[in-house]
Amino acid sequence: MGHNVTVRKGRPLNLFMARQKQRTEMLQKMGNQIFLNPPLFLLLGFAAIILLGSIFLSLPFVTQSGHSIGYLNALFTAASASCVTGLTVVNTAKTFNFAGKLIILILIQIGGLGIMTFATLIPMIIGQKNGLVTRQILKEQLNVESLTGIVRLLRYVLTFTFIVEGIGVILLGIRFIPIFGLKKGTWYAIFHSISAFCNAGFDVMGDSIYPLRDDILINVTLMALVIIGGLGFFVTQEIIRKRKFKLLSTHAKIVLLMSGILILVGALGFLVLEFNNPLTLAQEKTHVKITQSFFQSVVARTAGFYSVPIPALRDSTAFLLILLMFIGGSPGSTAGGLKTTTFGVLIITTISTLKGQAEPGIFNKHIPIRTIRKALSLVVVSIGLISLITFILTMTEKDSFINLLFETVAAYGTVGTSRGITPSLTPIGKLLIIIMMYSGRLGPLTLGMAISNRVSPSHIRYPEANITIG
């Protein structure tokens, strides 16, 4: 009898151990699948940061009133900060206390540099080497083609970021400290320097830089931080290392060329369209008009600061900003959007086609067909996603089409500029904008690759199809 009892008791125990082993193996398999799929790792990593941030921001002790802002509003704020967007459903300066603002600032820094940057920081500090999988994920995050020198690039990213942000703090502090005092002025300088470099556009003054729109030093410093952060770390490294334009890679040349053209065209367009608008530039002095035009052109592509009341803009100006927001910053940067290189490749391809050239090229280099296909795919997916979200918003929200399109593109470009409709969004509208911010930060192609990270080889070659275009 004793032997039979032992057997009966042992069976459940053995069964339990077997099930535990099965679960452990399944979890290990899932973990390996995630780690071996860099886009999926980044996708889930950003989602985890957003969810963690939303939990903290939903707590009562992070607000000035001592009351929770609600989980959905907290989720929206966390997503906006982590995706370095700047869209807010509540006024950051008036709603959150120092703890809440500090959490937002941490999310901005992590979101701007990428989760893998911080994940690999500790091993670097203690002298441990990063494995091949870690390097693959870093390669995906930094958007570079090769694993060669990836850790060296990471060190540069961290060093360069903190140096530039530090210089920004000093320059902004020159103005903020005399105005707001040592403690508050220093805090404002730190927050806005990080927010600008990470292209987030969050502010803790309550009305962005509108009250200081005529201050040249503040405007120029913020513009410089936004531009440097939006160029891409690979490009800034090249500029520092090579110094001469002709020695730069084709990628860096296209980034600088397109960024310069977009800033100049955007500033000129904004100045012309808003010059006589009594609600924006008409009452300003000439040098302030020019400064604000350049400021809005710069921040429209990457960051959500504003020096003019955005809701008061003419619809034509709003459409100009939509185009700039859609293009966004450059690959491997803190900015979102379609990216300057993608837009540049399409422009170069179009010009080459109109000229009847066999293959598109620039700076004595031809553009590979795979690059053109990727650019076209990204444009189609981006336009499709923006169109879908805007279409749904027209059914869920009570606002004009131009305002809804503006909001959607601002979220996709992780710009954060709004025509004032963000706080009045319905719960469905807030969720849709969260999806757009998330997609814009990671990139539609990254999201697609995360789901399917394999290219199926084709062993069949079909006859060429004759299709009439145009």
Of 169-173, 294-298, 377-381, 390-394, the one with minimum mean pLDDT is: 377-381
Give the amino acid at 450. Answer: A
Average pLDDT over residues 291-302: 89
Percentage of the chain lying above the pLDDT 70 cut: 77
pLDDT tens per residue, range 69-128: 999 999 999 999 888 888 888 888 889 999 999 999 999 988 877 655 555 555 554 454
- Yes or no: say if 279 and 420 are a contact pair by the CB < 8 Å rule: no
Please state, in angstroms and rounded to a whole number, the distance separating the CA atoms of residues 191 and 93.
Answer: 12
Beta bridge partners of 96: 63
- Yes or no: say if 279 and 288 are a contact pair by the CB < 8 Å rule: no
Q: Is the pLDDT of residue 39 over 70?
A: no
Phi, psi torsion values for 393, nearest 5 degrees: -65, -35
Which residue would you say has higher pLDDT here, 239 or 117? Answer: 239
Q: Is the pLDDT of residue 467 over 80?
A: no
Q: Is the pLDDT of residue 130 over 60?
A: no
Check residue 447 and give its pLDDT: 61
- Yes or no: say if 367 and 348 are a contact pair by the CB < 8 Å rule: yes
pLDDT tens per residue, range 307-327: 888 889 999 999 999 999 999
Give the amino acid at 277. Answer: N
Q: State the CB neighbour count (10 A cutoff) for residue 61.
A: 10
356: left (phi over 0), alpha (psi -120 to 50) or beta: left
Please state, in angstroms and rounded to a whole number, the distance separating the CA atoms of residues 328 and 339.
Answer: 5
Average pLDDT over residues 48-71: 91
- Yes or no: say if 207 and 92 are a contact pair by the CB < 8 Å rule: no
Q: Is the pLDDT of residue 454 over 90?
A: no
Q: Is the pLDDT of residue 185 over 90?
A: yes
Of 20-29, 98-107, 411-420, the one with minimum mean pLDDT is: 20-29
Check residue 402 and give its pLDDT: 93
- Yes or no: say if 255 and 330 are a contact pair by the CB < 8 Å rule: yes
Please state, in angstroms and rounded to a whole number, the distance separating the CA atoms of residues 89 and 83.
Answer: 15
Check residue 166 and give its pLDDT: 94
Give the amino acid at 416. Answer: G
Give the amino acid at 302. Answer: T
Q: Which residues contact 161 (CB under 8 A, 6 or more apart)?
A: 113, 197
**pLDDT range class, residue 5, cuts 50, 70, 90:** very low
Q: State the CB neighbour count (10 A cutoff) for residue 51.
A: 13
Q: Is the pLDDT of residue 45 over 70?
A: yes
Which residue would you say has higher pLDDT here, 369 or 72? Answer: 72
Annotate the chain with three-state secondary structure: CHHHHHHHHHHHHHHHHHHHHHHHHHHHHHHHHHHCCHHHHHHHHHHHHHHHHHHHHCCHHHECCCCCCCHHHHHHHHHHHHCCCCCCCCCHHHHECHHHHHHHHHHHHHHHHCHHHHHCHHHHHCCCCCCHHHHHHHHHHHCCCCCCCHHHHHHHHHHHHHHHHHHHHHHHHHHHHHHHCHHHHHHHHHHHHHHHHCCCCCCCCCECEHHHCCCHHHHHHHHHHHHHHHHCHHHHHHHHHHCCHHHCCHHHHHHHHHHHHHHHHHHHHHHHHHCCCCCCCCCCCHHHHHHHHHHHHHHHHHCCCCCCCHHHCCHHHHHHHHHHHHHCCCCCCCCCCCCHHHHHHHHHHHHHHHHCCCCCEECCEECCHHHHHHHHHHHHHHHHHHHHHHHHHHHHCCCCHHHHHHHHHHHHCCCCCCCCCHHHCCHHHHHHHHHHHHHHHHCHHHHHHHHCCCCCCCCCCCCCCCCCCC
**For residues 142-175, b (16+ Cβ closer than 10 Å) or e, as one string?**
bbbeeeeebbebbebbbebbeebbebbbebbbeb
**pLDDT range class, residue 224, cuts 50, 70, 90:** very high
Q: Is the pLDDT of residue 1 over 50?
A: no
Q: Is the pLDDT of residue 259 over 70?
A: yes
Average pLDDT over residues 125-141: 52
Q: Is the pLDDT of residue 47 over 50?
A: yes
**pLDDT range class, residue 25, cuts 50, 70, 90:** low
Please state, in angstroms and rounded to a whole number, the distance separating the CA atoms of residues 116 and 153.
Answer: 13
Average pLDDT over residues 202-221: 87
Domain limits of the chain? 27-450
Check residue 72 and give its pLDDT: 94
Please state, in angstroms and rounded to a whole number, the distance separating the CA atoms of residues 268 and 385.
Answer: 30
**Residue 129 in tokens:** 């080497």
Check residue 46 and give its pLDDT: 81
Check residue 126 and give its pLDDT: 43
Residues in the chain, how many? 470
Q: Tell if the pTM clears 0.85, that is, is over it.
A: no
Q: Is the pLDDT of residue 7 over 50?
A: no
Check residue 96 and give its pLDDT: 92
**Residue 36 in tokens:** 């071996």
Which residue would you say has higher pLDDT here, 416 or 182? Answer: 182
Check residue 261 and give its pLDDT: 93
Average pLDDT over residues 250-255: 88
Check residue 222 and give its pLDDT: 93
Check residue 38 and give its pLDDT: 63
Which residue would you say has higher pLDDT here, 447 or 210? Answer: 210
Give the chain's mean pLDDT: 81
Rounded to the nearest 10 degrees, how much is the dihedral formed by the CA atoms of 211, 406, 229, 372? -160
Which residue would you say has higher pLDDT here, 397 or 11? Answer: 397
Cα angle: 248, vertex 236, 293; to 5 degrees: 105
Average pLDDT over residues 191-198: 90
